A = this chain, B = another copy of it.
């Protein structure tokens, strides 16, 4: 998988630089790419008449850019491409951290914050590639089994490309970090409760007959990072 940030690691600019708890900051492209590949829903933020708007939306990547999409009338995407910049955040929640003190309770997570500029994609071929990339980013291997988008469906889709200006990741993992004097509180359970997103049993559509078997990419669905952690 190519890097979102080109060949070198990124030197974050003033917006993306992690200020709080810099020991949790990651700027290496492997960490950034892994978060982007494992997630598939981002929170896209933009300023509309000076006020912030944050919407959840699926994303995909093609080369070094992130793509999001929606209907042509989609208010958020229209405003995003009108604006000067957007912020696109991907967060993976890995578990809960229970400390001996209320103060040191925490959450294990990996998050990626991208600052960039959003442009509407007008080119039909790029829109087609982006639509297939959305499908394959969420369900790897799916696009080849689907009825491809028609020209009218491509016209009915607003595709927005976010060119990355700055990016940084923040990672918290491991157990609680209690104060030394609290470590004697052995009667308080302390530790970590890991979380995993697990697919349930697939439910075939009931609106029309489905003769195809459940495809392997559905039966064995795992996000790329989760699959790597299994090995």
Contact = CB atoms under 8 A, between A and B. Distances in A.
A107 interface: yes
B135 A102 contact: yes
Given A53-B87, A134-B105, A183-B207, A198 B199 contact: no
A93 interface: yes
Interface string A24-64: 00000000000000001101111100111111101000000
A191 B204 contact: yes
A143 B102 contact: yes
A67 interface: no
Nearest to A136: B102
Contacts of A105: 134-135, 138-139, 142, 146
A208 interface: yes
A85 interface: yes
Contacts of A100: 146-147
Given A51-B84, A54-B87, A188 B145 contact: yes
Given A93-B41, A178-B207, A199-B193, A146 B99 contact: yes
A98 interface: yes
B134 A74 contact: no
B52 A86 contact: yes
Interface residues of A, number: 103
Contacts of A96: 138-139, 221
Q: Which of A115, A143, A183, A202 counts the most chain B CB atoms within 10 A?
A: A202
Given A44-B54, A101-B149, A191-B203, 8 more contacts: A15-B51, A51-B85, A95-B199, A100-B147, A186-B208, A186-B209, A191-B202, A196-B199
Contacts of A131: 102-103
A225 interface: no
